[in-house]
Each structure stands twice: as C-alpha cells, then as structure tokens.
Amino acid sequence: MTESPNYPNYPESAAAGQPATAPARPSTVEGAFWAFIASTVIGLVGGFLIFASRDAIADTLRNSNRQSGGGLTDAQIDQAVTITMVVALVIAVIIAALYLLFAFKLRAGRNWARIVLTVITALQLISVLAGQTTVLGYVSVVVAVIGVVLSFLTPSNAYFAANKTIR
C-alpha cells in the first residue's frame, strides 16, 4: 500500500492564506431587513383584505355595466371579479416572495439587493402617491422607506463595502 500524498488540511491552508471573514452585520442592516419583512407582511395583509371588498367591487362593475349599455350578465360580472381578485392575489404573493428574497440577500450583504429594494420601494411610493390605496398600503410604503433609509446609513454602507471586498 502506498502512502497518500501529503496534502495540507483545509483549516491549515485557510489559516495560512488568511481569508477575509465576513464583517459583523450592523443593527442598521438588521433593522432594514426587518422593515422590509414588515412591509411585505403588511402588503400581503392588505392584499388579502381585498376579498372583504368583493361585493363593493362587483357593485361598482354592475353600475358601470348598466351605464355603458349593459352587455354583461350578473354571473359574468361575478366571474370577472373573482378572476381579477385571484390573479391580483397570485401576483401579490409572487411579488412578496421576490421582496423577501431581496430582503434576505440585503441581510447577507449583497449591494445589488439593496439597490433593487430601493427601486421597488420608489416604484411602490410613486404608485401609492398616484393612485388609490388603503391605510395598509401607506403603512407598507412608510415601513419600506424606513428600510431603504436604514440600508443607506453609514454603518450599512461600510457593511456592504466590506462584503464586496470579501468576494
């Protein structure tokens, strides 16, 4: 039996090369992460609450249908409302899942996630200012804006810069 070559053990070779260690996550990044999580949860709750206003939406469509000449039956209007609400809810869940993914990447020190979350929050803010929304919509945007601000404070900037140099 021949001896195996003498390869250095991983911990020894890692210590010799002195790899950079991940910097400690500052509380500003942790706060931004939780703000984005809270914003997502609040947004989803608002999405689910749309089911409570199903009758109001159907009534609005029925009135609009009558005023425009009424080519749709009540059954068709009910079906359109149901399909619209389900599609809106599915889209909201997909967006929430992506938002959560970006929040976790932000927490891990990925600067691109911070930028994506900033852009999404800006679009969300514009959407809320331009259209009708609920109180939960406003709260969700305010919490997301807090997350963006926290993610750009000095300790957060240092954390993202340090993580960039490690990679």
pLDDT tens-digit readout, 25-84: 999 999 999 999 999 999 899 888 877 888 888 888 888 888 888 788 888 888 988 888
Mean pLDDT of 124-150: 90
40 and 103 in contact (C-beta within 8 Å)?
yes
Which pairs with CB-CB distance under 8 Å and at least 24 residues apart come from 58-65?
Answer: none
- 74 Cβ neighbours under 8 A, 6+ residues apart: 62
Residue of 83 and 148 predicted with greater confidence? 148
Q: How far apart are CA 140 and CA 161, in angstroms?
A: 28
- Chain centroid, CA 133 distance in Å: 18
Specify the residue for token string 């927490």: 107
Question: CA 111 to CA 115: how far, in whole Å?
Answer: 6
Angle between helices 27-49 and 74-107 (to 10 degrees): 170
Asked if residues 61 and 81 have their Cβ atoms less than 8 Å apart, the reply is yes
What are phi and psi for residue 93, nearest 5 degrees?
-70, -40
pLDDT of residue 74: 82
**What is the predicted pLDDT for the residue at 12?**
44
Structure tokens at 32: 């931004």
pLDDT at residue 31, as a whole number: 96
Average confidence score pLDDT of the chain: 84
In this predicted structure, what is the pLDDT of residue 3?
A: 55
pLDDT at 7 over 70: no
Structure confidence at residue 54 (pLDDT): 83
pLDDT for res 2: 55
